[in-house]
């Protein structure tokens, strides 16, 4: 069943009723190995690190949602990112957006540099600076957009042109936007990675990752690496992500509607100094975001008056917005990145303002969310 429509593909790609039983939902194939018909003759599966039918259903669905040819699922977003990095070797250089996910920064700086990979972190909203960072040995541009936690919007199509001149791979971590809001492969990217823990899973009940590409050669290598390195998800985790993906479009629409209301509310609040949301006209890349994204997503960052101490007070005072790390679930979360998700980058050039608060705006009723923020901002 093929459709041009995202919502239909999310529910139907590689999710036909089970041939043996008619089960409407792909079964959880909780098996490590498979009976062979004869020595070396299988029905396509021999061992579940290499392939598992529940995982195959998820991988094909995710590929379709990113308008890609191939998908690979992983045990976590970091498992996916680590596997992408096995494409490179000592002496290779990577240009990375300077506001990258903290765990990505940690992997690159504290692990991969000691294996001889070289990284340059640059503000990718500045195309000239990004071009200057490219060297003869640059093999990849690592893009996140919108970035975390400053929600900078990076021009994927423009960077794809820059990268191709250098034959560098363009990789986009599309976790914050999700494939419903942004389609990096169509904009010229070679590889998309996800933490499916976030919007794709959508219910804060599973940790997972994914890679999607339409480049056959890159896919063959990544498929080899997935099996060789082994950071694969279990069948139940695949099933949870596949279930989450079915409602992605509905959820992203509501996340985006709620987030713009929250952003406007905060922007007009006397106790807030700065609000960062790509959907606000005050956002420096608002026009680019309008072109590159279908809507602006569920993440809002802001700085309250009163500095770091007041930020902590607010984060402790919300009742519906739960104080916690992660994002992308149906429930709203609040956090202080400098002391939580971004602790590992404090003291580095990527350091985050300690007064910054990050919200993952959920899909609760917007009146309840605004009332909760109103009472928290009133804290003395
Ligand atoms: C969470 C996250 C990751 C890491 O994913 P895990 O599933 O936690 O391993 C990578 N990139 C971004 C943008 C994320 O938000």
2 pLDDT above the threshold of 90: no
Give per-residue pLDDT as tens, 305-315: 999 999 999 99
| Domain spans, the chain | 6-246, 248-377
Q: In what order do the strands lie in the sheet with 272-276?
A: 272-276, 299-304, 357-360, 333-335, 322-323
Other Cβ atoms less than 10 A from the Cβ of 23: the count is 10
Q: Residue 80 — very low, low, confident or very high, per pLDDT cuts 50/70/90? A: very high
Active site residue 49: yes
pLDDT of res. 1? 55
1.20.1050.10, 3.40.640.10, 1.20.120.1200, 3.30.70.141: CATH of 6-246: 3.40.640.10
Atom in ligand 1 nearest the alpha carbon of residue 100: 13
Ligand 1 pocket member 108 (CB < 6 A): no
Distance CA(181)–CA(143), nearest Å, equals 16
| Across 15-24, 280-289, 296-305, least confident range | 15-24
Ligand 1, atom 2, residue with closest C-alpha: 195
For the Cβ of 335 lying below 6 angstroms from any atom of ligand 1, the answer is no
- Average pLDDT score over the chain: 96
Give the fold, CATH level 3, of 248-377. Answer: 3.90.1150
Q: Ligand 1 center to residue 322 CA distance, Å? A: 19
32-47 per-position pLDDT tens digit: 999 999 999 999 999 9
Mean pLDDT of 301-330: 96
Residue nearest (by alpha carbon) to ligand 1 atom 5: 77
Apex CA 355: angle with CA 351 and CA 356, to 5°?
A: 70
Which residue's CA is the nearest one to ligand 1's atom 6? Answer: 77
Q: Strand, coil or helix: what is 37?
A: coil
Residue from 136, 209, 212 nearest 170 by CA: 212
Q: Give the separation between CA 190 and CA 208, rounded to whole angstroms.
A: 21
Task: Confirm or reject: Cβ of 197 under 6 Å from ligand 1.
Answer: yes
Q: Which of 198, 251, 254, 358 is catalytic?
A: 198
Q: Is 201 in the pocket of ligand 1 (CB under 6 A)?
A: no
**pLDDT of 280 above 80:** yes
Prediction pTM value: 0.96
pLDDT (average), residues 225-248: 98
Dihedral angle over CA of 210, 213, 216, 222, nearest 10: -30
Mean pLDDT of 176-189: 98
pLDDT digits (tens, 9 = 90+) for 236-246: 999 999 999 99
Q: Is the pLDDT of residue 349 over 80?
A: no
Residues recorded for the chain: 380
**SS3 state of residue 296:** coil
Q: Ligand 1 centre and the CA of 378: distance in Å? A: 32
Q: Per residue in 100-141, pLDDT tens?
A: 888 999 999 999 999 999 999 999 999 999 999 999 999 999
Residue 173 annotated among the catalytic residues of the structure: yes
Quick check: 344 pLDDT over 90? no
User: Which atom in ligand 1 lies closest to the alpha carbon of residue 196?
Assistant: 7
Residue 372 has pLDDT above 90, yes or no: yes
Q: What's the pLDDT band for 351 if we cut at 50, 70, 90?
A: confident
């Amino acid at each position: 069943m093929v459709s041009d429509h995202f919502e239909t593909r999310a529910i139907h790609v590689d999710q036909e009723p089970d041939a043996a039983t008619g089960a409407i939902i792909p079964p959880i194939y909780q098996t490590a190995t498979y009976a062979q018909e004869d020595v070396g003759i299988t029905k396509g599966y021999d061992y579940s690190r290499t392939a598992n039918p529940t995982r195959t259903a998820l991988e094909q669905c995710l590929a379709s949602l990113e308008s890609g040819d191939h998908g690979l699922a992983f045990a976590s977003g970091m498992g996916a990112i680590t596997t992408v990095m096995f494409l490179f070797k000592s002496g290779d250089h990577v240009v990375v957006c300077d506001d990258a996910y903290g765990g990505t920064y940690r992997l690159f700086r504290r692990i991969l540099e000691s294996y001889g990979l070289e990284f340059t972190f640059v503000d990718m909203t500045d195309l000239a600076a990004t071009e200057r960072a490219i060297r003869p040995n640059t093999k990849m541009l690592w893009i996140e957009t919108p970035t975390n936690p400053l929600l900078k919007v990076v021009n994927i199509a423009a960077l794809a042109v820059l990268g191709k001149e250098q034959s560098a791979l363009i990789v986009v971590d599309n976790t914050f936007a999700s494939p419903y809001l942004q389609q990096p492969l169509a904009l010229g990217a070679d590889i998309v990675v996800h933490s499916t823990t976030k919007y794709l899973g959508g219910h804060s009940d599973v940790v997972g990752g994914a890679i999607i590409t339409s480049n056959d050669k890159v896919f063959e290598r990544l498929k080899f690496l997935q099996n060789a390195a082994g950071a694969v998800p279990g069948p139940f985790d695949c099933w949870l992500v596949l279930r989450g993906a079915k409602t992605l479009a509905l959820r992203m629409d509501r996340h985006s509607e709620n987030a713009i209301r929250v952003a406007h509310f905060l922007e007009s609040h006397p106790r807030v100094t700065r609000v960062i949301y790509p959907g606000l006209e005050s956002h420096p890349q608002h026009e680019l975001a309008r072109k590159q994204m279908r809507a602006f997503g569920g993440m809002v960052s802001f700085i309250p008056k009163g500095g770091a101490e007041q930020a902590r007070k607010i984060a402790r005072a919300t009742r519906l917005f739960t104080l916690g790390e992660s994002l992308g679930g149906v429930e709203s979360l609040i956090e202080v990145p400098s002391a939580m998700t971004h602790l590992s980058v404090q003291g580095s050039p990527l350091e985050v303002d300690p007064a910054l608060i990050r919200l993952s705006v959920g899909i609760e009723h917007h009146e309840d969310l605004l009332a909760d923020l109103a009472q928290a901002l009133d804290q003395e």
